[in-house]
Chain A
Amino acid sequence: MTTVQPDVAVAAPAAGGSRRQVGSRPMVTAVLTAVAVLVAVAFILPALWILVGSFRPTEDILSSMSPLTWQLFVPTEVTLDNYSRLLLDSGFSRALLNSAFVCIASVLIGLLVSAMAAYTLAVYRFPGRNIVFALVVISFMVPFEAIAIPLSQQFITWGLGNTLIGLILPGIGNGLAVFNLRQYFLGIPASYREAAMLDGASEPRILFGLYLRISGPALTNSAVLIFLGQWTAYLWPLLVISNTRLQLAPVALASTFGERSADYGQNFAGTVLLALVPAISMLVLQRFFGRLSLTSGEK
């Protein structure tokens, strides 16, 4: 499938991860583990509270907050009502599907586009390279909210209002992903590319057959960047989508907060569902692009 010598890909140290240890005594390991557990628990507790809350009535969430009792994390009444109302009655499930489609399409197109640009900016020397890189960096610093209104007016004139393409397009030119991939590509030794060139490999072949193959973690991280950027998009879909059937999940979730009252149970259920999808997608991405530094363990 590729002309790159197998030993190059295998020996790539930049992509390989290896565990190391500061001390080998069991005491040190125990202390480090304890710290890790403490930190992780501190981070997970609020999320756990949301998860538990999604299975209890709103009134139960609010009345158990204070004073501190075991009821904070243990519902007096467990119900699936929040989920069933959200998924069956409110059009939320359709919005979830729309969101998933938009995100997956954005990740696939966005990664391709970003990787090509990052490769060029990392391995080629050409006049104006720094200017182009600066353009990429600066472009991702422009707050999207600031340009969303004029841009949405453009999109509607171009006939992209109420289309899935109109939702996907802003996600693919991701300067952050280009930046991230470039930083990673810079760390890949030049000798790999030269060796491949000596073998007569063409540029696309070097990029797709060599660089991308050994950049699993960076690709996954960039995919996460693009994915989360699109998954949490709120203002943009509000501006370009007026057909309820095409609306995205965060907008649907915000509707659980009304003018006078909020449905905390339903909101928490929606939050859990919205959090689950990136989690599952990341596992899929990991299959797709290789090892994710998130979960890779010892072996």
Chain B
Amino acid sequence: MLGAVAALGTTALLATACGGSDASSSAPSAGGWTVPVSDPTATINVLSHLSLKNDKMQDVIDAFQKAHPTIKVNFETIPFDSLASTIDARVANKDGSPDVYWADQPRISALAARGEAEDLTSAFSQYKDTFAPTAYDAGVYQDKLWALPIANSTQLLYYNKDLLKKAGLPEPSASVDQRMTWEQLTTDAKKAKDAGAQYGFLFGQFDRYYQLEPLPVQLGGSPGASGDGNLTPDFSSDAWVKALTWYGSLFADGVAPKGVTSEQTDPAFLGGRAAYMVEGPWLLPQLKESKVDWGVAPQPVFEGGKPATPTGSWSLAMNPFSKQKEAAAIFIKWMAVDDGGGGYIKYLPAPELAASTEGKQVYFAKDVFSSPQGKDAATIIDFETSSTAVNRISTIGYIEFETIMNQMFADVRNGADPKSAIDASTAQLKTAWQKYQ
């Protein structure tokens, strides 16, 4: 029985490895199209978790429409939590809709292996050098390019000056050479809490692999998997145990709250209820609007560890069944490359960290970076994205991996013993990954 599964897995991999998804399915073969010089007249369906109004994607689409008037964009918003499964189901309907979709970067390998993404190598690999290396690599699977990055991310340590002052604590340095240690942060956050802060420390996204992966990596651990195709669970090293033990102690000692969800952390810091918070640059515009007196520093590192920070964001991928591939390619190129670093970065009113070098300049020119703290943030962001960023693991089994990892972090947060949580999750992941072996 296992043999059959293995054989099947190999066929699937081989099929997708040699030229998109042509060998084993009815998907049209890759390479039958190019990015045309003149615009075709077409309507393309675009699927995203961003909304036209609340996220102001309308501005971006309007700008595209102006640049390419013959290509009409039908933009559809799907709730973030349902995006991945909706793409899965819609592409499998084989009616070619959506033509372009927002792809979560670590899921790109899986999308490619499943035959749900079009091979973009011949059309877009020439732009490789315009992107931050981690951002471009996130779209590569088995030496082919499957998605083009439109954004990037990193993490910063924000602090509330008033709450630190109340506890008599020094402000962390904004210099990347004088990074705080997690150990120090834990001690200080505890003091801040004792001095009256509701929360000592918050992660922007508790229990999420994106946020927590750099912890074991700082201690020399693996990103969580290794071996052929990164399909062997690899998170039982001492580095992982130590990182998880520290994570669990945050909650056991009351430095960080147990029940607060990732959706509640930003409002808590913006409401002046937390002393420290590690969160992405997307907090900057909101901080500008808030009444909080804040400062910013690089994300901490473990004592004796090597700095490592989260990175990665969204890419655009194409449906292999799309009937408008040329128009879709024009849209992807405009979003990620054109107009000096991508129309997405240029025309989205909320500042979003760019994946391209040119786009970064557009990004740093936005007015959230004009304040003294904004300038600090810009320096840190620039340094982290080029020097300390570690991508999430690239594996076709990423979805199972992330689900089980997030659950493991949550269990540790809720008081499970780190070692036994690791063992249980390793066993679970082995079972879940059986189908790929």
Report the separation of the CA atoms of residues A122 and B397 in the bound assembly, to the nearest whole angstrom: 52
Q: Is the CB of B268 within 8 A of A62?
A: yes
* Chain A residues near B78 (CB-CB < 8 A): 238, 251, 255
Question: Distance (Å) between the CB of A81 and the closest chain B CB?
Answer: 13
Q: Is the CB of A262 within 8 A of B75?
A: no
Closest to A154 in B: B93
Report the separation of the CA atoms of residues A177 and B70 in the bound assembly, to the nearest whole angstrom: 50
Report the separation of the CA atoms of residues A260 and B76 in the bound assembly, to the nearest whole angstrom: 19
Q: Is the CB of B81 within 8 A of A254?
A: yes
* Chain A residues near B168 (CB-CB < 8 A): none
Question: Distance (Å) between the CB of A139 and the closest chain B CB?
Answer: 23
Contacts A59-B271, A89-B53, A91-B53 known; A244 to B77 CB distance under 8 Å?
A: yes
* Chain A residues near B268 (CB-CB < 8 A): 62
Report the separation of the CA atoms of residues A91 and B264 in the bound assembly, to the nearest whole angstrom: 24
Q: Is the CB of B77 within 8 A of A255?
A: yes
Partner of B264, one of A62, A89, A156, A254: A62
* Chain B residues near A163 (CB-CB < 8 A): none
Report the separation of the CA atoms of residues A259 and B312 in the bound assembly, to the nearest whole angstrom: 14
Q: Is the CB of B77 within 8 A of A242?
A: no
* Chain B residues near A259 (CB-CB < 8 A): 49, 80
Q: Is the CB of B271 within 8 A of A243?
A: no
Q: Is the CB of B264 within 8 A of A262?
A: yes
B138 part of interface (Cβ distance < 8 Å): no
Q: Is the CB of A255 within 8 A of B79?
A: yes
Contacts A89-B53, A161-B95 known; A257 to B81 CB distance under 8 Å?
A: yes
Report A219-272 residues with CB < 8 Å from chain B CB.
238-239, 242-244, 251, 254-255, 257-262, 264
Partner of B271, one of A62, A89, A251: A62
Closest to A266 in B: B54
A152 part of interface (Cβ distance < 8 Å): yes
Q: Is the CB of A254 within 8 A of B79?
A: yes
Report the separation of the CA atoms of residues A174 and B98 in the bound assembly, to the nearest whole angstrom: 31
Q: Is the CB of B263 within 8 A of A242?
A: no
Report the separation of the CA atoms of residues A171 and B81 in the bound assembly, to the nearest whole angstrom: 25
A90 part of interface (Cβ distance < 8 Å): yes
Report the separation of the CA atoms of residues A255 and B77 in the bound assembly, to the nearest whole angstrom: 8
Contacts A62-B271, A90-B53, A242-B45 known; A260 to B262 CB distance under 8 Å?
A: yes
Q: Is the CB of A89 within 8 A of B81?
A: no
* Chain B residues near A183 (CB-CB < 8 A): none
Q: Is the CB of A153 within 8 A of B92?
A: yes
A281 part of interface (Cβ distance < 8 Å): no
Question: Distance (Å) between the CB of A17 and the closest chain B CB?
Answer: 43
Q: Is the CB of A257 within 8 A of B262?
A: no
Question: Distance (Å) between the CB of A91 and the closest chain B CB?
Answer: 7
* Chain A residues near B270 (CB-CB < 8 A): 59
Question: Distance (Å) between the CB of A153 and the closest chain B CB?
Answer: 5
Question: Distance (Å) between the CB of B85 and the closest chain A CB?
Answer: 8
Report B130-178 residues with CB < 8 Å from chain A CB.
none
Question: Distance (Å) between the CB of B315 and the closest chain A CB?
Answer: 14
A63 part of interface (Cβ distance < 8 Å): yes
The 8 A CB mask of A141-176 against B (1 = contact, 0 = none) is 000000001001100100001000000000000000
Q: Is the CB of A244 within 8 A of B45?
A: no
Contacts A63-B273, A90-B53, A90-B54 known; A239 to B89 CB distance under 8 Å?
A: yes
Partner of B205, one of A91, A239, A260: A260
Contacts A89-B53, A239-B89, A259-B80 known; A59 to B267 CB distance under 8 Å?
A: yes
Report B249-284 residues with CB < 8 Å from chain A CB.
261-264, 266-268, 270-271, 273, 280, 282
B407 part of interface (Cβ distance < 8 Å): no
Q: What bracket does the count of chain A residues touching chain B fall in?
A: 20 to 34
Closest to B86 in A: A238
* Chain A residues near B92 (CB-CB < 8 A): 149, 153
Contacts A62-B271, A90-B53, A242-B90 known; A258 to B80 CB distance under 8 Å?
A: yes
* Chain A residues near B97 (CB-CB < 8 A): 242
Closest to A63 in B: B271
B343 part of interface (Cβ distance < 8 Å): no
Q: Is the CB of A149 within 8 A of B89?
A: yes
Q: Is the CB of A257 within 8 A of B95?
A: no
Partner of B95, one of A63, A149, A156: A156
Report B65-83 residues with CB < 8 Å from chain A CB.
74-82
Question: Distance (Å) between the CB of B59 and the closest chain A CB?
Answer: 14
Question: Distance (Å) between the CB of A77 and the closest chain B CB?
Answer: 13
Contacts A242-B97, A260-B204 known; A255 to B51 CB distance under 8 Å?
A: yes
Question: Distance (Å) between the CB of A105 and the closest chain B CB?
Answer: 24
Partner of B93, one of A91, A153, A238: A153
* Chain B residues near A59 (CB-CB < 8 A): 267, 270-271
A98 part of interface (Cβ distance < 8 Å): no
* Chain B residues near A242 (CB-CB < 8 A): 45, 47, 76, 90, 97-98
Report B196-224 residues with CB < 8 Å from chain A CB.
204-205
Question: Distance (Å) between the CB of B205 and the closest chain A CB?
Answer: 7
Contacts A62-B264, A260-B282, A261-B263 known; A251 to B79 CB distance under 8 Å?
A: yes
Partner of B267, one of A62, A239, A244: A62
Q: Is the CB of A257 within 8 A of B263?
A: yes
Closest to B77 in A: A255
A180 part of interface (Cβ distance < 8 Å): no
Q: Is the CB of B54 within 8 A of A89?
A: yes
Partner of B49, one of A62, A258, A261: A258
Report A85-118 residues with CB < 8 Å from chain B CB.
89-91
Partner of A243, one of B74, B204, B205, B267: B74
* Chain A residues near B53 (CB-CB < 8 A): 89-91
Report the separation of the CA atoms of residues A215 and B23 in the bound assembly, to the nearest whole angstrom: 60
Question: Distance (Å) between the CB of A260 and the closest chain B CB?
Answer: 6
A120 part of interface (Cβ distance < 8 Å): no
Report the separation of the CA atoms of residues A257 and B93 in the bound assembly, to the nearest whole angstrom: 27
* Chain B residues near A239 (CB-CB < 8 A): 86, 89-90
Q: Is the CB of B75 within 8 A of A244?
A: yes
- Known contacts A58-B267, A257-B79, A260-B280, then 13 further A-B pairs from the complex at CB < 8 Å, ordered by chain A residue: A59-B270, A62-B264, A90-B51, A90-B53, A238-B82, A239-B90, A244-B76, A251-B82, A254-B79, A257-B80, A260-B282, A261-B267, A262-B264
**Can you offer 10 A-B residue contacts whose CB atoms are under 8 A?**
A58-B267, A152-B89, A156-B95, A239-B86, A242-B47, A242-B76, A242-B98, A251-B82, A260-B204, A264-B264
- Smallest CB-CB A-B distances: 4 pairs: A262-B263, A254-B79, A259-B80, A59-B271
Please give the residue numbers on chain A whose beta carbons come within 8 Å of chain B beta carbons, in ascending order. Answer: 58-59, 62-63, 89-91, 149, 152-153, 156, 161, 238-239, 242-244, 251, 254-255, 257-262, 264
